[in-house]
Amino acid sequence: MPLPFLQVDAFTSQPFAGNPAAVVVLDRAADEPWMQQVAAEMNLAETAFLVPRANRESDGYDLRWFTPTIEVDLCGHATLASAHALWQRGDLPEQAVARFHTRSGLLTATRLGDWIELDFPATLVHAVDAPPELLDALGTSASYIGRSKFDYLVEIDSEAGVRALTPNYARLRTLAVRGVIVTSRATTKEWDFVSRFFAPGSGIDEDPVTGSAHCALTPYWSQKLGKTTFTARQMSPRGGTLKTELAGDRVKLRGQAVTVLRGEIV
């Protein structure tokens, strides 16, 4: 039987912006090689696969995320897209909390009007002496270099510098991390900080909007700016806006989502 899927643009209120993700809702768990093949065929930053538990409203769904080349442990935009898809399809009532069982533990999504709030674990960053090829590949200098369990985090001196980056993706691909977050304090008054995210080693040269990166960016900027709530902008060509909040060892990520495509896997 054909298997329906949705393609959702996450962290945007307009189609053809934000970060696209494919969402596939399965009746039962699928073979990992097949999911990887589907994700490669979709050729999006992530494809999300959902399997309902016994009681989908109270027990939730098992959720896995695949890039075109690998399975990842945490993905914000595809989780946002998954919650949006479940409400759009009528799998969950709009007032129900979406509960996802993942490699990173239980994640939840709650509908707040036109926005969706994700509850994710905070990701801590510690200062490191980065390999010389990191800054060479980015083509910039840095005021801070840190590393989380997933990524390097590089702070540079200006929003304009973040926007202007043209990395050497082949050199970034040699780094033994999921990706590289580059960030600065914002000069545009609507935002607190800006960022871009590069992950060629994970099959994505530049990710348009990266929810999981903001699990590190939020506590990082909280310590620097002395506040816990932020409006953040990821400055990829597609671009996206997030509202974030540090709540103890958790980060609340708020974004919007738009369905742009419905199809079938035959």
The residues annotated as belonging to the active site are: 46
Residue located via tokens 């990701």: 123
Distances (CA, A) of 262 to 11, 16, 171, 209, 258: 19, 14, 37, 21, 12
DSSP-assigned states of every residue in 158-227: -HHHHHH----HHHHTTSSSSEEEEEEE--STT-SEEEEEEEGGGTEEEES--TTTHHHHHHHHHHHHT-
Please give the Cα distance from 148 to 119 (Å, whole number): 19
Instruction: Please answer whether residues 82 and 89 qualify as being in contact, where contact means their C-beta atoms are separated by less than 8 angstroms.
Output: no
Q: What b/e string do you get for 224-253 counting C-beta neighbours within 10 Å, with b at 16 or more?
A: eeeebebebbbbbebbbbbbbbbeeeebbb
| Strands (DSSP E) found in the chain | 3-10, 19-25, 46-52, 61-66, 71-72, 98-102, 105-112, 115-121, 126-127, 144-147, 151-155, 179-185, 193-199, 204-207, 229-234, 240-247, 250-255, 257-265
Please give the Cα distance from 169 to 19 (Å, whole number): 19
Task: Enumerate the β-bridge partners of residue 163.
Answer: none
Task: Give the count of beta carbons closer than 10 Å to the beta carbon of residue 58.
Answer: 10
Q: What is the DSSP letter of 120?
A: E
